[in-house]
Homo-oligomer: A and B are copies of this chain.
């Protein structure tokens, strides 16, 4: 009889932080050993962080990563952890071609004891691995703690054939995969079903360790798990937080015994938490310690972003909300912005833009869209002034519907270093705002999410009612850049617009497909014209988290200059 305890070290790595990542691995390894583990596995490219893009091509970086791995093996042994098998990801070099490789290494006995190079290099959506790595071509079975462990890295289990097909013939006891699989709505079940099929293919339990945390515009959701050869879920780690969980393999049992299984979250909570974690990690990893600033218009977009920021920062005291009313701002909007800030305990300044608008108009005498954009750009200047003078990260509050349709002002409301809701359609923004108001302030959500407001409120005053003012949710959306303006003057109603955008952008439906989907020709042509018009501005939008299959930004790589109309 052989029993082996695996530790699933779901760690939040940072790209390029070789020393920091190695220190964290050591810490997790100590805790894994203390918990009785013989094998501890970390996410893909643990030491280097993931994805490293063209940093892989810099020789200095590859040498430093190799140095880090060797030193870590020595440090583990020095800490009395020589017997532990520490499975980490890093960058390697293909000695024939000199090209980088996406590598798994095992640190054991004070040395880099074994290695495996990823076979399948994804080259679609957000992935660019074929560009920077050369592919491994060997399948590897490791004898660890008396059992036979086959190994794979992320995409290796998503493609048929390759290392998993090889391992099926090699009588392995466990299939261990290390992953950097970014979050995407609905992907949890896809991943688990896939893993179940691979476990059946090799006839052994599959241990799936995933990365967690935000990295630029990706969010990794963790949710590591173990699935048995018959598809039974044996273990599941929580989503959106670091975690160390264990799985006990027993060679005598035909079926393994299930352990702790984290529940599947509510879909709104899941997306909300992904956005909060993306923002939180972007701030932490880029050294924005002083907080964020953003314009508060009284509308739903800025309200939701402010709530996310307060939750990311553990309170409103590092959130600087700026109300920038114009001659066209309604009193209701100003009140809603003030109420929201108070409910979140955020800083709240009022900076009227009328005197500035008048000063510009004295020189420029603009009208129409140019005058509307001027208002938005004066606000952009003010937000950036707060950012520069107080060292704050400016947040852009645009949602995916308006960004897709170009219904925003470049260098105006689109300024900011991070755009937390840039991948949420407007109808989803409303849903999340309602969810956020329902969420209890005293409970702790998935990913350790703590909801700010509701209970404590500003300066300890209890909030009477909803944190996000109901008026911000129910009123007709307006940019308030001219008297009586409504979004619906320029755009189809959001319920309809979002359906068309979903089909056109996410599912790549062309005009004929959209008509076949049942949308009327006028709406289709309006939306396609809006999106076309907005497309050329695309590359100048700020960074934000990716939540759906095909977000704007680098994974929608359309040419700027294109005459094609589908």
Q: Which of chain B's residues have a CB closer than 8 A to the CB of A55?
A: 558-559, 562, 564
Chain B residues near A366: list those with CB within 8 A: 385, 388-389
Q: Are A560 and B373 in contact (CB under 8 A)?
A: no
Interchain CB contact under 8 A, A282 and B60: no
A2 interface residue (CB < 8 Å to B): no
At the interface, yes or no: A566 with Cβ under 8 Å from chain B?
Answer: yes
B-contacting 9-mer, from A10-18, A27-35, A495-503? A10-18
Residues of B close to A370: CB separation below 8 A: 385, 388-389
Of A181-189, A375-383, A472-480, which binds chain B?
A: A375-383
Partner of A363, one of B355, B380, B384, B415: B355
Q: Tell me if A23 counts as interface (CB < 8 A to partner B).
A: no
Taken together as a complex, chains A and B put the C-alpha atoms of A17 and B16 apart, in Å, by 42
CB of A535, distance to nearest CB on chain B (Å):
11
Nearest B residue to A14, CB-CB: B563
Q: Is A556 an interface residue (CB 8 A)?
A: yes
CB distance from A124 to the nearest CB of B (A): 7
The answer on a CB contact under 8 Å between A20 and B385 is: no
Query: Which of chain B's residues have a CB closer than 8 A to the CB of A417?
Result: 536
The segment from A108-116, A233-241, A504-512 found at the interface with B is A504-512
Please tell me if A369 contacts chain B, counting CB pairs below 8 Å: yes
The interface residues of chain B lying within 8 Å CB-to-CB of A215 are: 559, 561
Name the distance in Å between A362's Cβ and chain B's nearest Cβ. Answer: 8
Contact across chains for B57 and A508 when beta carbons are under 8 A apart: yes
Name the distance in Å between A39's Cβ and chain B's nearest Cβ: 28
One digit per residue, 1 when the CB lies within 8 angstroms of any chain B CB and 0 when it does not, for chain A 130-152 equals 11000000000000000000000
Contact B381 A377 (CB under 8 A): yes
Provide the residues of chain B in CB contact with A380, threshold 8 Å. Answer: 377, 411
Q: Look across to chain B and name the residue whose beta carbon is closest to the beta carbon of A563.
A: B17
Choose, from A337-345, A421-429, A431-439, A539-547, the stretch at the interface: A539-547
CA distance A236 to B52 in the complex (A): 42
In which size bucket is the chain A interface?
A: 35 or more
Q: How far is the CB of A530 from chain B (nearest CB, A)?
A: 16
In the assembled complex, the CB of A536 is this many whole angstroms from the nearest CB of chain B, namely 6
- Residues of A509-566 at the interface with B, using a CB-CB cut-off of 8 Å, are 510-513, 536, 539-543, 556-566
The answer to whether B374 and A360 have CB atoms under 8 Å apart is no
Whole-angstrom CA separation of A378 from B529 in the bound complex: 32
Give the distance to chain B from A550, nearest Cβ to Cβ, in Å. 9
Residue of A131, A285, A508 with highest tally of chain B CB at under 10 A: A131
- A59 touches B (CB below 8 Å): yes
User: Which one, B53, B351, B410, B543, contacts A558 given CB within 8 A?
Assistant: B53
How far apart are A407's CB and chain B's nearest CB, in angstroms? 15
Q: A60-B513, A389-B366 are in contact. Are A52 and B559 (CB under 8 A)?
A: yes
- The answer to the question of A64 belonging to the interface, with a C-beta cut-off of 8 Å to chain B, is yes
A contacts, CB < 8 Å to B: 14-18, 20, 49, 51-55, 57-61, 64, 123-124, 128, 130-131, 215-216, 282, 285-286, 351-352, 355-356, 359-360, 362-364, 366-370, 373-374, 377-378, 380-382, 384-385, 388-389, 410-411, 415, 417, 508, 510-513, 536, 539-543, 556-566
Q: Can you list 24 residue pairs at the A/B interface with Cβ under 8 Å?
A: A16-B559, A16-B565, A20-B563, A52-B559, A53-B557, A55-B562, A55-B564, A59-B510, A60-B511, A60-B513, A64-B566, A130-B130, A130-B131, A216-B561, A286-B536, A352-B363, A355-B363, A356-B360, A366-B389, A369-B388, A374-B385, A377-B380, A411-B411, A540-B541
